[in-house]
Structure 1
Amino acid sequence: MVEFRLASNVTPNFHQGLIAYRERTVAVACARDSAMLALAEPRTIDFVDGVGESGPLAFVDAPELVAALAALLPGSQVLTPSELNGPFDATAWPHISSNDITYWRPGTLGEALFNYWD
């Protein structure tokens, strides 16, 4: 583990754990309201004052890291880039606020689960 970035303000709705993996650093994004995980390019976020990057995450594929996380974190689900970059079906994710869906109009599952909405 390289670094933990815990979100304490309204945005983002996920925490990050940065992991040095092979010749790169990968962010493990963990949704604050569920046991959903995703692997993404690390984001620059200053969690103290909330200033930093925003917008959709760039999800990455690392099957060996997904397998390791699944073994270490039973009960969590690591979503793949193809799932996260696929269309968002609100009926499959009832815990996501219908008001947020109407206002923000997420185009992908990744945008709905890991976002900077206020």
Structure 2
Amino acid sequence: MVDLREFRRACHEAARRTGGRLVEFRIADSVTPNFHQGVIDYSDHHLSIVCTRDRREPVVAVAEPRAIDATVVSAGPLTFVDAPDLLAVLAEFPAFQVLTPADLAGPFDARKWPGLHSADLKYWAPADLGEVLFNYWD
């Protein structure tokens, strides 16, 4: 399970060191989504640091945020973003496994990611690792 205080600390530090400001911290406390996110504001765009909530070793990545004002609920796959500066800061936190968009676009190998329900994988038929790790499955 993810330590939310450590995730919040990582988000604040990543935002600070990359010239952004953490403007929203979304805790996933119902069935979906299966990830938390910290939304960072840069003067011309927003990014989200997403973190799996139910894995023994939490995985973090950078994605486009769903909706800044929280009025829109979207359940499709996340769009992962290549943000090397953010990922470098996150990699300094040993509590998290950091994955890049290239990692997440790769195939899912169940042997490398134990603990996922085979029925979910069969039903949802994810296209890649990113969809398996970060999703809105119920």
The one-letter amino acid paired with 1:37 is V
Give, in angstroms, the shift of residue 9 of structure 1. Answer: 1.1
2:73 corresponds to: 52
1:86 corresponds to: 106
Give, in angstroms, the shift of residue 101 of structure 1. Answer: 0.9
Distance (Å, rounded) in 1 between the aligned partners of 2:116 and 2:123: 12
Deviations 1:70-103 (Å, cap 9, x if unpaired)? 22x2221110000101111122111111111111
> What is the RMSD of the two structures over their aligned residues, measured on CA atoms?
1.8
Give, in angstroms, the shift of residue 22 of structure 1. Answer: 6.4
Higher deviation after alignment, 92-101 or 106-115: 92-101
TM-score w.r.t. the length of structure 1 is 0.88
> Are residues 1:117 and 2:117 paired?
no
Unaligned runs of 5+ residues in structure 2 are 1-21
2:4 corresponds to: none
Give, in angstroms, the shift of residue 67 of structure 1. Answer: 0.8
The one-letter amino acid paired with 2:125 is R
> Are residues 1:43 and 2:63 paired?
no
The one-letter amino acid paired with 1:27 is S
2:54 corresponds to: 33
> Are residues 1:101 and 2:137 paired?
no
Give, in angstroms, the shift of residue 107 of structure 1. Answer: 1.4
How many residue pairs get aligned? The number is 114
